[in-house]
Structure 1
Amino acid sequence: MPLIEKIEEVITENDTTFSSFVIQACEYALENIESDKKR
């Protein structure tokens, strides 16, 4: 399944918007980048 289809499925299942999904994904990525730097 292509990435965009997976994202659309998650958005639909969680009753959220694409913008909200992107913001959450960015927050998650930033938190994990910080965690990786501390290792």
Structure 2
Amino acid sequence: MAPSLLLLDAVLMTGPYVGVPVPIDPGGVLVLFRSFGFQS
């Protein structure tokens, strides 16, 4: 599951996702997921 999260993280960092720009946080992918309301 880690590879998938990394891929998603890369996509989020490359540009806005779901029309919402995501700042690169050292917190990890979980923070990004929580920003979009997704749960792992």
Larger Rg: 1
Higher helix share: 1
- More contact order relative to length (CA 8 Å, sep ≥ 6): 2
Give the TM-score taking structure 2 as reference length: 0.36
Give the TM-score taking structure 1 as reference length: 0.37
